[in-house]
Amino acid sequence: MKTPKATSTGAGQLVGYARTSTTDQKAGLEAQLRDLTGAGCAKVFREELSSVAAKRPELERALDYVREGDTLIVTKLDRLARSVADLVEITARLRAKSVALRILAMNLDTGTPTGKLMLNLLGSIAEFERELMLERQREGIAKAKAEGKYKGRAPTARRKAAEVIRLKAEGKTGDAIAEELGIGRASVFRILRSA
């Protein structure tokens, strides 16, 4: 027996967004595409890049594409947003366009009053958890400093020195390297000078 496809809460189109962190995660992307198609998505935007990438062009295209009455569908929340602030920004953009958001794994649909409430509660809980985690982290750092054990973390750019040198050898500009690796332009040139 065939299950009927879900329909959007408005009269609009169902639009999917799928993302995996790397091109190595083909199975994960295929599973998302299968689930989005199964949910009735007429159009699916997809990309293979880390959520920490400065720009997610396909997500931007999806957010520009959706219209009033449409529903943007993702399989999981972490495929869409990288933080609570990011989620708040995305949902505000969708709300401004009168577009609902559906998260399949959570059975959450902001096209319904309950879905809106749940998303707000989840966002608030996540923000509260983050504040608690930051508070514990600050306390731990203060204790470690007091005991003379705190060294701090290694600078991010320095850990990417080998990649910077490799990309420069491939002929990329300093600006292109900085954008690709998500580090500052000054850090790129500092690494290249010291190499």
Close Cβ partners of 124 (under 8 Å, ≥ 6 residues apart):
none
Closest-CA residue to 181 (of 168, 194, 193, 48): 168
* b/e sequence 80-114, b meaning 16+ C-beta within 10 Å: bbeebeebeebbeebeeeebbbbbbeeebbbbeee
Residues that are catalytic: 21
